[in-house]
């Protein structure tokens, strides 16, 4: 092809190229315009939804947000957050509506659907629909997604349903999945199972579970106390004592719970000198006011009231407690009459009022306080964290 021919072809193709470029540019401009219009519409819809929320019209807000989801699947995270917000506010039905709609979407990727299932399971738990929540968490385990979260919620469900066998099973799986040491919880599940057998008077089965609980967690005070109760119910204080005395090594804060039984065992075995040595050692360790009061009572029996009173006075100078003051008043009342007796009674009533109604146990994890021992904290659901309170109004 000569130069003239090339020039002619170029001249003919130039308008075509220009026309093609103009058409492509127009299509791109139209696409960008459509995208801008779509984004603008989405933004408008979101502002409308927020406006409904601000005016306390959540149902209308949900309709708007669901409509946006149908247009733009990238807004899934926003919908998950919105459902979570409704659940925290106690509007669980609305949270369920949003999360059910998300789960039904076929356009969600695996991760988004798994997260929607997890949130829907939490909605059902909040509503008390444990069977539905359990099925969703089990589905997550089958898919291999969010396993630690699913296992943790399944353990929570089985605890609330008091299905201790399943709680034990899934707690073990959670421990394996996370590497977290959950022996404290597992030991308590075994103690719960033991209590079921005790209620049925199945003592051998109960003791076997308590032995297993102690093997699971050597610091399980509950297993020791229950084993001691079981031995005492069989009129075997000799077997009960070792269970009780190891509590000092497991968790000294729980000693006040064991002390009445320790005293009972020594008295039944007629080993008062051994009991006195034990109480003197506990008092020297400052393990609470209960050993001090028990020792004073024993001193009153073995010696006289003056020795017990002198001991209480010495201890109160070191660590004053209202219970100690109340005991000192009792000793003074033994020999008082007339006006002094009335004055001492006023002091005693004042001391009793100071501790009346006060919490005797407190959770070291969340601060829950009450007047009785809970092995599982009613507040934070932790195990073995509720202990006797120490201080001037407690131990």
Domain 72-178 shares a fold with domain 284-356: yes
Query: Average pLDDT, whole number, for the chain?
Result: 85
Q: How far apart are CA 377 and CA 133, in angstroms?
A: 23
Q: Which residue, chain included where needed, has tokens 């819809």? A: 45
**CA distances, 163 to each of 36, 139, 196, 300 (Å):** 55, 20, 11, 49
- Residue range 288-319, pLDDT digits in tens: 899 999 999 999 999 999 999 999 999 998 88
Q: At 45, is the secondary structure helix, strand, or coil?
A: helix
Contact, 218 vs 242, CB < 8 A?
no
Q: Which tokens go with 271? A: 């080993």
Q: How far apart are CA 105 and CA 393, in angstroms?
A: 59
Q: What is the end-to-end Cα distance of the chain in Å, rounded?
A: 110
Q: How far apart are CA 296 and CA 37, in angstroms?
A: 86
List the beta strands (DSSP E) in the chain.
Answer: 361-363, 369-370, 386-388
CA of residue 36 relative to chain centroid, distance: 49
Which residues are CB-contacts of 156 (< 8 A; sequence separation ≥ 6)?
125, 381
Candidates 239, 176, 178, 249; CA nearest to 218 is 249
Candidates 368, 385, 366; CA nearest to 188 is 385
| Domain spans, the chain | 72-178, 181-270, 284-356, 358-395
Evaluate if residue 59 carries a pLDDT over 90: no
Contact, 83 vs 93, CB < 8 A?
no
| CATH number belonging to domain 181-270 | 1.25.40.10
Fold of 72-178: 1.25.40
Q: How far apart are CA 354 and CA 1, in angstroms?
A: 115
Strand partners, 387: 362
Q: At 79, is the secondary structure helix, strand, or coil?
A: helix
Higher pLDDT, 12 or 138: 138
Q: Which helix (DSSP H) or strand (DSSP E) does residue 325 occupy?
A: helix 322-333
Q: Which helix (DSSP H) or strand (DSSP E) does residue 214 occupy?
A: helix 203-216
- Residue range 259-297, pLDDT digits in tens: 999 999 999 999 999 999 999 999 988 888 999 999 999
CA trace torsion 286, 291, 293, 297 (10° rounding): -140
- Residue range 174-193, pLDDT digits in tens: 999 999 999 999 999 999 99
**CA distances, 366 to each of 17, 153, 369 (Å):** 75, 20, 9
Evaluate if residue 356 carries a pLDDT over 90: no
Q: How far apart are CA 304 and CA 298, in angstroms?
A: 9
Model pTM greater than 0.85? Answer: no
- Residue range 89-107, pLDDT digits in tens: 888 898 898 899 888 888 8
CATH level 2 (architecture), domain 284-356: Alpha Horseshoe (1.25)
């Amino acid at each position: 092809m000569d130069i003239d021919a090339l020039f002619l072809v170029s001249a003919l193709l130039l308008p075509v190229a220009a026309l093609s470029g103009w058409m492509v540019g127009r299509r791109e401009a139209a696409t960008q315009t459509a995208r801008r219009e779509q984004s603008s519409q989405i933004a408008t819809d979101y502002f409308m939804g927020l406006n409904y929320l601000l005016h306390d019209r959540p149902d209308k807000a949900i309709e708007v947000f669901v409509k946006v989801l149908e247009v733009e699947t990238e807004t899934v995270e926003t919908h998950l957050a919105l459902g979570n917000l409704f659940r925290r506010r106690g509007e669980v039905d609305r949270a369920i509506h949003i999360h059910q709609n998300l789960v039904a979407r076929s356009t969600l990727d695996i991760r988004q659907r798994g997260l929607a299932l997890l949130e829907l399971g939490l909605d059902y738990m909040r509503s008390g629909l444990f069977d539905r929540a359990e099925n969703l968490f089990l589905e997550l385990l089958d898919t291999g997604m969010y396993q630690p979260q699913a296992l943790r919620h399944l353990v929570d469900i089985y605890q609330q349903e008091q299905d201790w066998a399943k709680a034990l099973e899934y707690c073990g799986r959670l421990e394996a999945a996370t590497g977290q040491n959950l022996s404290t919880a597992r030991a308590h599940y075994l103690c719960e199972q033991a209590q079921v057998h005790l209620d049925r008077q199945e003592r051998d089965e109960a003791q076997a579970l308590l032995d297993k609980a102690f093997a699971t967690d050597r610091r399980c005070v509950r297993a020791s106390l229950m084993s001691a109760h079981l031995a005492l119910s069989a009129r075997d204080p000799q077997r009960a004592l070792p269970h009780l005395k190891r509590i000092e090594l497991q968790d000294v804060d729980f000693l006040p719970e064991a002390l009445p039984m320790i005293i009972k065992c020594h008295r039944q075995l007629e080993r008062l000198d051994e009991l006195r040595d034990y109480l003197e050692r506990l008092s020297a360790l400052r393990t609470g006011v209960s050993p001090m009061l028990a020792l004073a009572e024993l001193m009153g029996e073995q010696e006289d009231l003056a020795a017990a009173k002198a001991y209480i006075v010495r201890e109160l100078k070191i660590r004053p407690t209202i219970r100690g003051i109340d005991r000192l008043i009792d000793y003074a009342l033994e020999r008082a009459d007339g006006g002094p007796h009335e004055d001492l009674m006023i002091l005693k009533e004042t001391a009793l009022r100071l501790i009346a109604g006060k919490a005797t146990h407190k959770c070291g994890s969340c601060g829950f306080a009450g007047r009785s021992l809970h092995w599982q904290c009613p507040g934070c659901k932790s195990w073995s964290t509720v202990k006797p309170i120490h201080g001037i109004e407690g131990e």
